[in-house]
Amino acid sequence: MRKQEQLKEAIRYIFTGGLTTVVNFMIYWLCTRFFHIYWMSANVLAWLGAVIFAYYMNQRYVFHSNPANAWKEAAQFFFLRLLTLLIETVLLYITIQWLLIPDMISKVIVSVITVAGNYVFCKFMIFYQKQ
């Protein structure tokens, strides 16, 4: 892939990743503040909504992968994102329960780590196999 194409792809990923983060935070905020759901359950619900949104955006607009591989990509995408959910949950537990950092601030801190990890997983382990 040429450098210019790589840059465009990275910009698209950052933009859709930003939208995915907004989806995640909005669902989390609604769950915790409006519906009064415990932060850990709210995080799982927010993760689910964000992952569905992110898969669609990454598959269609960022990596332009082959639709024939959609089921395989979706399974890999959700599995790898499940790993980041586990990492995110552990980090949120540490920051919220042990360090007593407010949940929304903790979510911002932890999101920086998971967004970077998600890019690497998506790029090199899932959508890289496009044809």
**Tens-digit pLDDT profile for residues 19-44:** 999 999 999 999 999 999 999 999 99
**The whole model's pTM is what?**
0.81
Which whole number is the average pLDDT over 34-55? 96
Q: Could you give the angle at which helices 39-57 and 3-29 cross, rounded to 10 degrees?
A: 150
At residue 69, φ and ψ (nearest 5 deg) are: -95, 10
Residue 47 has pLDDT above 90, yes or no: yes
SS3 category, 130:
coil
pLDDT in tens, 80-107: 889 889 999 999 999 999 999 999 999 9
pLDDT for residue 131: 43
Give the count of beta carbons closer than 10 Å to the beta carbon of residue 101. 17
Nearest to 21 by CA among 107, 79, 86, 102: 107
